[in-house]
Structure 1
Amino acid sequence: MKLFTRVLIILLSAGLIATLVYFKSSDTPKISSLVGKKQPAVNVGITVATMKNIDRKIILSGSLLAYREAELHTEASGKVVNFNLPEGQLVKQGTLLVKINDADLQAQLLKNTEQIRHAEEIESRQKALLSRGGSSREEYEAALNSLNLAKADKELILANIAKTEVRAPFDGIIGLKYITIGAYVTPSTKVVSIIQPDPMKLECSIPEKYASFMKKGNTLTFLTRGSTKRYNATIYAVDPRIDFSTRTIAVRADVANSKGALTSGSFVEIELPIGDSHLGLMVPTEAIIPDIKGQKVFIVKNGKAEPRPIVTGVRTENELEIIQGISAGDTVITTGILLLKPNSPVVIR
């Protein structure tokens, strides 16, 4: 029995060893084939780095603001009995836009008018009597005081009536209305907005190192999103302090908008000249790759992608100046970049 057990163990061990040897020998060609397999080529688009005459300028982001803008509210609570809110239309300063029911105040005004008339008669009579010695100075002054109090009451009533009216604070364009006839409004109710569209204000923030280029009276050139037309703006104010968190300085400029082509709130790109024009090595901005150590580009060398760390200079609308890292004539990869690794084989489209 012991002999049988030993023979069985020997046979099982031999079978296990044979199985392991078989699988190991069958895996070897697969592994070797993977190691020897070539990396597939990546289809890429390219451009040739060339020297160009470029203006020394930087591109900044900014916004257009209405020269004057107001959100209108009533000063009194009540029911709207009349309104004149032509949405999108120009109104003159002082135009009555909204009227709230003021019947009670009108009644008070009528009563006060009679009080003033009566007080004037008494004051006039007391004045005549005083001149003839038929009345005392105290009686006349009491009559005059009553008249003055009645006139003061009138001013208070008129002030309260004015609070039931919403008038245009300046010449401007009416925005969208938020009320209608019969609505009950309070001072917290937004009635309408109004803006003065001409001129407009351009507002932007510039890095502190370029602060010397921002002077009152200087001209800025800008474009609106989706348009190639350039507009000019004249700087009228520069913030005297630097923002600690962003290290930038706020700047505002006047923009003529007599034709109404510009809209308040629009995003704009501002071109700020920072020196004379010069020759520079330019590549498309899409070729630039952010890197932990800075920025880099891939160039094609011997059919492979070679990464090159770069130092950049002036940025234009579509290109970036390369100060260090590549040379004129280098073939720079512009598309297919995300698929590239160092020494990846490439195929130029």
Structure 2
Amino acid sequence: MLLTSNETGDRLDMIKRFIIALIFIILICGGLVGFNLFRDKAISDYFANMQTPSQTVSTYVIEPGDWEPGIDAIGTVSARQGVDLAVEANGTVMAINFKANQDVTKDAVLVQIDDRIERADLASSESSLQLAEDTLRRTRSLASRGVNAASALDTAQSEAIQARSTVERLRAVLRQKSLEAPFAGTMGIPEIEVGQYVTAGTKVATLQSLDTMRVDFTVPEQELSSLKLGQPIKVMIGEGEDGVDGTITGIDPKINAESRLVSVRGEVENPDRKLNPGQFVRVRVVLPTDEGVLAVPQTAVTSSLYGDYVFVVRNKREGQQNGSADAQPEQAQVEPIADDAENLEVRQVFVQLGRRSGQRVEIREGLRAGETVVTAGQNRLSNATPVTINNDVNPAEIERSGAQQ
């Protein structure tokens, strides 16, 4: 079938329009693809060249020092001499000769119970004793001359002994009517009143000798070999206190089979009366000092699934990308950090920890003397993060200065 010239022209126009539309679509798609590639490249270049903002941190310079190891425990204070006083006889309280917190001497009369009947009985018995002794002397005198029979002398001796026993018994009863201090100490709050009728065993008050205190505490059985009698201890009441010095006076030879703990007793002097019976205290058994130990504040150490690590401050190194790990070998000497705050960064270093003492922890492996570690601000750090040091308020330095005083 032959096409006319008009039909041929229409078909050519249609093909041209299709080609133009196809070219237009290709240009649009190419532009979109090119724009996306350019955008991604620009973003990548921006982040690659972006400088990590500097973070402000507190630091601590590692220095070899003396390590005072110790065994920490929680103890309970008690008086070396302390009792709850009670009356020994029934009767009405006539006098209370002490007040709360009053210091009393040994043998001081603290409470007096009505003893008028006992005193009258004692006076009568002493009169009977005097008569019996006089009778015994006369009977012996007559018996020596052969006047009286031996039975009369035996009777007189028996009556004298009986009268003497009665007097001693009444004197003992009188002593029970008076409550005396068994030792010098400080009285507690009275628990009876004048005029009150009391029975034997009624508690009067507590008496505590506060000059020397006992401290009972327990330690794990693994530490038993490190303990000995006379070993020094420190007893601390609150945080930041120097503590009171004392010594170990007793070590239980038997280990508790359930808790696997060993009971230990120490004694400390208490001239300032800071310690009181029943008080909870922190106890530290002092062990021999080790020299040249590397230690850092516990705040410098961060724990993770991969181990314990610290951030070490160093000088920036040219040509190293941000965030890359420091793969260079350890130098023979620690490079001093620059004075310029803009040339400092940190690196993450995994460490092996040792003993702990107070707020410090021993570093057995991973750090060297002279290195500077971060003690505050670690939560914003990663490898090669720029840092600025500000030690205006640094708990590590405060602790160090306090330990030197």
Aligned to 1:31: none
Q: CA RMSD in A?
A: 3.9
Read off the aligned partner of 1:231 and give its amino acid letter.
V
Alpha-carbon distance, 1:274 to partner: 5.2
Matches within 5 A, 1:1-349: 51-52=62-63, 53=65, 55-61=67-73, 62-226=75-239, 228-266=241-279, 267-273=281-287, 275-284=289-298, 312-321=353-362, 323=364
CA distance in 2, matches of 1:309, 1:159: 77
Read off the aligned partner of 2:102 and give its amino acid letter.
Q
Judge conservation of contact 1:72–1:190 (CA < 8 Å) in 2. yes
List per-residue Cα deviations over 1:278-334 (Å, max 9, x = no partner). 433534269677x9x99967989959xxx9998643222223335579997676788
TM-score, normalised with respect to structure 2: 0.62
Task: Rate the CA distance shift 1:91–1:332 in 2: closer, same or farther, 3 A.
Answer: closer
Task: Rate the CA distance shift 1:287–1:234 in 2: closer, same or farther, 3 A.
Answer: same
Deviates more, 1:218-227 or 1:91-100: 218-227
The answer for unaligned runs of 5 or more in structure 1 is 1-43, 338-347
Alpha-carbon distance, 1:196 to partner: 1.0
Bigger share in strand: 1
Deviates more, 1:328-337 or 1:77-86: 328-337
Report the secondary structure of 1:277's partner residue: strand
CA distance in 2, matches of 1:90, 1:294: 61
Deviates more, 1:323-332 or 1:68-77: 323-332
CA distance in 2, matches of 1:227, 1:161: 53
Judge conservation of contact 2:300–2:376 (CA < 8 Å) in 1. no
The answer for unaligned runs of 5 or more in structure 2 is 1-54, 313-321, 325-347, 381-387, 389-405
Q: Relative contact order (C-alpha < 8 Å, sep 6+): which is higher?
A: 1
Percent identity, aligned pairs only, is 23
TM-score, normalised with respect to structure 1: 0.70
CA distance in 2, matches of 1:277, 1:78: 68
Task: Rate the CA distance shift 1:154–1:322 in 2: closer, same or farther, 3 A.
Answer: same
CA distance in 2, matches of 1:87, 1:45: 57
Aligned to 2:399: none
Task: Rate the CA distance shift 1:46–1:79 in 2: closer, same or farther, 3 A.
Answer: farther
Judge conservation of contact 1:58–1:314 (CA < 8 Å) in 2. no
CA distance in 1, matches of 2:112, 2:186: 19
Task: Rate the CA distance shift 1:63–1:181 in 2: closer, same or farther, 3 A.
Answer: same
Q: How many residues align?
A: 296
Judge conservation of contact 1:299–1:333 (CA < 8 Å) in 2. no
CA distance in 2, matches of 1:191, 1:295: 60
CA distance in 1, matches of 2:169, 2:309: 75
